Amino acid sequence: MKTLLLLTFILIPGSLLMAQTFSGDSILANERSIDRPITLHARQARITGGYGLSIISRRYNTEGEVVKLRDEGLSSIRHRFTLDLKYGINDFIQLNASIASSSNVVREQTRYIFPIEPEPVVMHDVTKEYSGLEDLYVGVDLRAPINTRKVDISLTLGATLPVASYEPKEPEHSFEVQQEAGMNTNAFTYRYYYPLGRGIVIAQLGGMVKYRLPKWAFSARVDYQHGLKDGKSYEWIHQLDNNSEFEYRQDPFTYRLPDSFSYFAEAEYQPLPWFDIFLNVSGFNASRGWTSPQEDLKVALPDQSGIFLNPGFEIIITPRLWFRERITFALSGKSHEAPFGFQTTLLYNFFPF
């Protein structure tokens, strides 16, 4: 009897739920990019996997002037893989989770020559590796229940959780005396490892609006991020001992992540039902961060900003599988790199329940 009651309570609402469901594929098949609601449809899931390649050969200094890293021998490449999961609880509430992993190695080589010394050449080879998992973002998007095709509005509440490593790994330096053209060269090789976690929970509040025309859609989004507490980490200090071996120690410091305000505006044009092109202008401002190497001193981190132009297109390969390609050009900024990059994304949609 109990089993029957249990089955009744489970199966009847379940069957009612099933009765409400619709063919997800047919919705997706007939929905152009510009027509999509800001949040997913009820019970729709989306897995998005992406790969981004950034060529970092320029940088903006604190005054916003371009510094050519290539001229300084500091150009580098960043590879970034992203995974994003979304699920629509209903047509107005969507859950998000996303994580990324990236890798960027910057190498700098400097040669010092002291012609009047018996060991006239000192070589510095510094490698800084910024790689690993980034923090996990979780959030919820709440779409306003406005019953019009033209306008869509949503509110985002989220947090970035410090799941990734944020304390730097012990460096691996080495020293050797090399012979170069009959002269002794003191060669120092420094290798530093910087993880990409940020060490604290970062709250996020954002909003998005989308406005549609028959073949066009315009959207804009703003997000505000704020770290919920100050972080603690350390940097590695080294010395070369008398046996020509490096020894290391940790020097602790505290820090506050900058508050970040990011935004984008996008225009989409849908020439064909399965093909969409877009032009996106995105940017961010980050300020009010500091680092404290000693108890009685907090040094402000330089304010950062960046504006980027991102043209791209999307192809609906099948109703479930979409392909998106985007190019990034840096337009302006301060205290930030100016990458030129490509972002390739595959989006897979399905209705799991």
Partner 1 sequence: MEFNCSRLKSVLLTDRKYAARITLFFFIMFGVLTACNEEEVDIVEQSAINKWQYYTESHGLASSYINTIFEDSKGNMWIGTDQGLSVDGPGGFNSYTTGDGLLSNNIFAIAEDHEGNIWVGTPNGLNILFDGDWYYFNYFYGFGVYALVTLADEKGVLIGTGGYGIYRYDLTQEVFEPYSIVSNCDECNSINTLFQAKDQSVWISSFKGVRKIKDNSVTTIDAQDGLPGNIATSIAEDSWGNIWIGTVEGKTITRVSGNLISQVSFNNGAEQNFIFGIQEDNDGKLWVGTIANGLFHYDGAIMKRIYQGPPDTTITALLKDSHGNLWIGTSGGGLAQYVTNPLH
Task: Tell which positions 209-268 bind partner 1, by CB under 8 A.
Answer: 224, 226, 237-242, 247, 249, 251, 259
Residues within window 133-192 making contact with partner 1, judged by CB under 8 A? 145-147, 186, 188
Smallest gap, in angstroms, from Cβ of residue 126 to partner 1? 11
Among 74, 82, 95, 124, binds partner 1 (CB under 8 A): 124
Q: Among residues 55 and 203, whose Cβ is nearest to partner 1?
A: 203
Report how many residues bind partner 1 under the rule CB under 8 A: 39
Residue 27: what are its φ and ψ, rounded to 5°? -65, -50
**CA atoms of 125 and 341, how far apart (whole Å):** 27
Residue 176 to residue 132: CA distance in whole angstroms: 30
Tell me which residues in 2-31 interact with partner 1 (CB under 8 A).
20
Which of 1, 4, 5, 116 is the binder for partner 1 (CB under 8 A)?
116
Q: Is 297 in the site for partner 1 (CB under 8 A)?
A: yes
Cα–Cα dist 333/62, whole Å: 9
CA quadruple 191, 192, 193, 196: dihedral sign: negative
- Nearer of residues 85 and 187 to partner 1, judged by Cβ: 187
Helix (H) or strand (E) holding 234: strand 231-240
List binders of partner 1 among 45-104 (CB under 8 A). Answer: 90-91
CB hemisphere CA count around 338 (13 angstroms)? 21
Q: Phi, psi at residue 332, to the nearest 5°?
A: -160, 170
Cβ atoms of residues 254 and 299 within 8 Å: no
| Least separation in angstroms between CB 222 and partner 1 | 12
Whole-angstrom CA distances from 154 to 46, 47, 203, 206, 338 are 18, 20, 17, 8, 30
109 near partner 1 (CB under 8 A): no
- Distance of closest approach, residue 200 Cβ to partner 1, in angstroms: 14
Beta bridge partners of 45: 87, 350
- Can you tell me which of 68, 71, 109, 119 binds partner 1, judged by CB under 8 A? 119
Token code pair at residue 235: 């940097």
Measured from the CB atom, the residue of 31 and 91 that comes closer to partner 1 is 91
> Among residues 54 and 304, whose Cβ is nearest to partner 1?
304
316 touches 29 (CB < 8 A): no
Q: Figure out which of the listed residues 71, 72, 117, 176 binds partner 1, where binding follows CB under 8 A.
A: 117
Neighbours of 7 (CB within 10 A): 11
Give the footprint of partner 1 on this chain (CB under 8 A): 20, 90-91, 112, 114, 116-117, 119, 122, 124, 145-147, 186, 188, 205, 224, 226, 237-242, 247, 249, 251, 259, 288, 290, 293-294, 296-302
